[in-house]
Amino acid sequence: MATESTNSSNTTKSGNGRMIAFGLIALAVVLYILGLTDSYESGLSIKPMDQFAVYPLFGDGPVRWYTPTNATLWMGLAVLSIAVLMVMGTGGRAVIPSRSQSMAELAYGFIRKMVEDVAGKDALPYFPYIFTAFLFILFANFLALIPTSFSPTSHIAVTVILALTVFISVTVIGFVKNGATFLSLFWVTSAPLVLRPILAVIELISYFVRPVSHSVRLAGAVMAGHAVLKVFAGFAGVMGAASVAPIIGVIAIYGLEVLVAAIQAYVFTILTCVYLKDALHPHH
């Protein structure tokens, strides 16, 4: 037992040493490349918004709705990787799941439980769409974290379509399921009678502002995070040997961005569930 434990601790120690050595070599390579590029890119030239430019994949023509652009490419990659994960995950159907199967089951169970807890059991027919939207946002956010890639969810055009789909379908579902009683969502019966018309106006405004905040939250968080990464990277390009500090800053912010990517997908999904709950049970 004793020898085994020392052996394992030794291996972890050497593993740590190897990791640190690898990190130092990577840092040295980055600094060397920075030193090379420093010569022709003198002066502080930070263009943090250039990474969000949409351009055609082939040629230099104008961008029309059918033009394959870099946005199309990365959204397609997100869809492709979701399909690969789900096909691989459901292919085996083993009792002891493989890694891909347990990832697929984890995601499915997580979102299914969220829909059931937040929106209620009668929201489960809408679960497939919510799950699809969650996976799309999650994978688009994570793929956008690959350096030099493109983040589709940083564009308000993309997130507005996602949010408007939810908004319109939730409104339609509310009227179809409840008829005119859906309007009792705006008539707060728990408030005093004098206040109810004022509250109705406020509730109406907050209802129609939902798709705005729903979409701009996702786009704003992703865009701001990527712009901050680029600003720090711009500092690293001009500071010479002192650029170790901004590089460490970039690594730290990158870790934060991984967290933000997952949390924003989660928040978008849970707000969809909340709106769906309002449509199915409009009574306060």
Partner 1 sequence: MEGDIAQMGQFIGAGIAGLGAGLAALGVGNVAGNFLAGALRNPSAAASQTATLFIGIAFAEALGIFAFLTALLLMFAV
Residues lying near partner 1 in the complex (CB under 8 A) are found at: 114, 117-118, 209, 212-213, 216-217, 220, 263, 266-267, 270-271, 274
Q: Which is nearer to partner 1, 18 or 47 (CB)?
A: 47
Q: How far is the CB of 41 from partner 1 (least distance, A)?
A: 25
How many Cβ atoms are within 10 Å of 182's Cβ, its own excluded? 18
Q: Which is nearer to partner 1, 34 or 271 (CB)?
A: 271
Q: How far is the CB of 207 from partner 1 (least distance, A)?
A: 13
Q: How far is the CB of 197 from partner 1 (least distance, A)?
A: 23
Q: Which is nearer to partner 1, 220 or 249 (CB)?
A: 220
Q: Where are the alpha helices (DSSP H) in 120-155?
A: 127-144
Q: How far is the CB of 132 from partner 1 (least distance, A)?
A: 20
Q: Which is nearer to partner 1, 138 or 247 (CB)?
A: 138
Q: How far is the CB of 37 from partner 1 (least distance, A)?
A: 30
Q: Which is nearer to partner 1, 77 or 267 (CB)?
A: 267
Q: What contacts 62, CB < 8 A, 6 or more positions away?
A: none
Contact call for residues 173 and 221 (beta carbons, < 8 A): no
Place of tokens 């704003």: 220
Q: How far apart are CA 120 and CA 123, in angstroms?
A: 6
Contact call for residues 55 and 63 (beta carbons, < 8 A): yes
Which residue type occupies 98? Answer: S
Q: Which is nearer to partner 1, 196 or 217 (CB)?
A: 217
For residue 218, the surrounding DSSP H or E stretch is helix 196-238
Q: How far is the CB of 61 from partner 1 (least distance, A)?
A: 24
* DSSP tag of 181: G
CA distances to 99, 138, 215, 218, 281 from 82, rounded to whole Å, are 15, 10, 22, 20, 32
Q: How far apart are CA 185 and CA 45, in angstroms?
A: 52
Q: Which of 85, 57, 61 is nearest to 71 (CA)?
A: 57
Q: Which is nearer to partner 1, 75 or 278 (CB)?
A: 278
Q: Which is nearer to partner 1, 202 or 212 (CB)?
A: 212
Which token pair is 237? Answer: 């390009």
* DSSP tag of 201: H
Q: How far is the CB of 211 from partner 1 (least distance, A)?
A: 11
Q: Which of 270, 273, 279, 277 is nearest to 170 (CA)?
A: 279
Q: How far is the CB of 66 from partner 1 (least distance, A)?
A: 26
How many Cβ atoms are within 10 Å of 189's Cβ, its own excluded? 9
